[in-house]
Amino acid sequence: MSDPRHIAIIMDGNGRWATARGLPRSAGHRAGVESLRAIVHHAGVTGLEWLTFFAFSSENWSRPDGEVRELLALLKMFIRRDLADLHRKNVHISVIGERDNLSADVRGLLVEAETLTRANTGLNLVIAFNYGARDELTRAMRRLAIDVAAGRLDPQSISADLISANLDTSGMPDPDLIIRTSGEMRLSNFLLWQAAYAEFLFVPCMWPDFTPAVFEEAIEAYRSRDRRFGGVNSKQCCKESPELLAVATASDGVAS
Ligand code: FPP
Domain for residue 240, yes or no?
A: yes
Average pLDDT on 55-69 reads 96
Same domain, 96 and 213: yes
Does the annotation mark 166 as catalytic? no
Does 101 belong to an annotated binding site? no
124 assigned to a ligand binding site: no
Q: Give backbone dihedrals phi and psi of 255, rounded to 5 degrees, phi first.
A: -70, 140
Angle at 58 between CA 53 and CA 62, to 5 degrees: 120
Do 97 and 147 fall within a single domain? yes
Average pLDDT over residues 134-149: 98
Cα 31 to middle of ligand 1, angstroms: 10
* Cα of 207 from ligand 1 centre, angstroms: 8
**Catalytic residue check, 60:** yes
The residues that bridge with 210 in the sheet, in sequence order, are none
Q: Which of 12, 82, 168, 176 is catalytic?
A: 12
Look at residue 1 and tell me if it is in a domain. no
122 with 247, same domain: the answer is no
Question: Of 78, 145, 141, 142, nearest to 113 (Cα)?
Answer: 78
> Which one has a higher pLDDT value, 227 or 58?
58
Look up residue 231 and give its amino acid: G
Residue nearest to atom 22 of ligand 1 (CA): 13
pTM listed for this prediction? 0.90
Q: Does residue 80 sit in the same domain as residue 200?
A: yes
In a domain, 134, yes or no: yes
Helix 65-88 crosses helix 104-116 at what angle (to 10 degrees)? 20
Say if CB 181 and CB 203 are below 8 A apart.
yes
- Whether residue 120 is contained in a domain is answered as yes
In a domain, 183, yes or no: yes
Work out the pLDDT band at 231, boundaries 50, 70, 90.
Answer: confident
Query: What is the CATH number for 134?
Result: 3.40.1180.10
- Determine which residue's CA is closest to atom 7 belonging to ligand 1: 55
- Residue closest via CA to ligand 1's atom 16 equals 75
Residue 181 CA to ligand 1 center (angstroms) comes to 11
Tallying the residues shown for the chain, one arrives at 256
199 labeled part of a ligand binding site: yes
Tell me the residue type at 99: R
Average pLDDT over residues 72-91: 97
Residue with CA closest to ligand 1 atom 10: 32
Q: Is 88 annotated as a binding residue?
A: no
Is residue 104 domain-shared with residue 24, that is, in the same domain?
Answer: yes
Residue 66: inside a domain: yes
Total count of domains within the chain: 2
CA angle 68, 70, 73 (to 5 degrees): 110
Percent of the chain with pLDDT over 70: 91
pLDDT value at residue 235: 54
Same domain for 215 and 115, yes or no, is: yes
| Residue 63 phi, psi dihedral angles, 5° rounding | -75, 165
199 and 250 part of one domain = no
Within this chain, do residues 182 and 249 fall inside the same structural domain, yes or no? no
Identify which of 14, 36, 106, 131 to mutate to test ligand 1's pocket (most ligand atoms within 8 A of the CB).
14
In terms of domains, do 247 and 164 share one?
no
Confidence band for 229, pLDDT divided at 50, 70 and 90: confident
Residue 93 lies in a domain: yes
Is the same domain home to 165 and 250? no
Closest ligand 1 atom to residue 35 Cα is 10
DSSP secondary structure letters along 125-188: EEEEEEE-HHHHHHHHHHHHHHHHHTTSS-GGG--HHHHHHTSTTTTSPPPSEEEE-TT----T
**172: in domain:** yes
Alpha helices in the chain (DSSP H): 14-20, 25-46, 65-88, 104-116, 133-149, 160-165, 212-223, 234-239, 242-251
Range of the domain at 50: 6-225
Does 67 share its domain with 128?
yes
What does the alpha-carbon distance between residue 235 and residue 198 come to, in Å, rounded to a whole number?
A: 21
| Residue of 231, 229, 207, 210 lying closest to 219 (CA atoms) | 210
217 plus 202 within the same structural domain: yes
Q: pLDDT value at position 228?
A: 80
**Phi, psi angle pair for 161, to nearest 5°:** -65, -40
198 and 178 Cβ atoms separated by less than 8 Å = yes
